[in-house]
Amino acid sequence: MRHRRARAIVAALVVLTVMAGLASRRFPEWQPAWMARYAGDTLWAMMVYWGLAWFLPTARPVVLAGCALALSWGVECSQLWHAPWLDGLRATTAGALALGQGFLWSDLVCYAVGVLLAVIVDQGVLAFNRKSLNALP
């Protein structure tokens, strides 16, 4: 049986993930060095997953994971292209957050980990929702 994700829950997960990602970049001194280095990229991919889950609330987690990973890796690979207008966009805060600034192989791994973590959380939320619905009289 397929269950629909509650968009309010997905929106809350987007907000929490964005807040954690921004905090990971703003306060690196409060984290272990490895976390300060990789948390933002990992959380960025999680946010992509949640964004897709909001737009496609009945999609299976494996479909969302594939799309989120393809989108994340595509954005990372686009950082190999340096058109003046694109570099100008990346120079803005919003552009840097959305498109990144430079290609790193390690980011591809971070994205895979972030999507995997999102799938695990998503499966947990879906299972909890199924239990809650089954408990109703």
- What are the pLDDT digits (tens) for 64-108? 999 999 999 999 998 999 899 988 888 898 888 788 888 989 999
> Could you tell me the sign of the dihedral formed by the alpha carbons of 69, 74, 80, 82, in that order?
negative
How far apart, in Å, do the first and last CA atoms of the chain sit?
Answer: 19
DSSP structural state of residue 29: G
Q: What is the pTM of this model?
A: 0.85
Q: Is the pLDDT of residue 39 over 80?
A: yes
The position carrying tokens 């933002």 is 40
Q: What is the pLDDT of residue 31?
A: 87
What is the per-residue burial (b if ≥16 Cβ within 10 Å, else e) of 106-128? ebbebbbebbbbbbebbeebbee
Task: Measure the CA–CA gap between 134 and 55, rounded to whole angstroms.
Answer: 25
What is the per-residue burial (b if ≥16 Cβ within 10 Å, else e) of 33-53? eeeeebbbbbbbbbbbbbbbb
CB 24, CB 92: distance < 8 Å: no
The position carrying tokens 């595509």 is 74
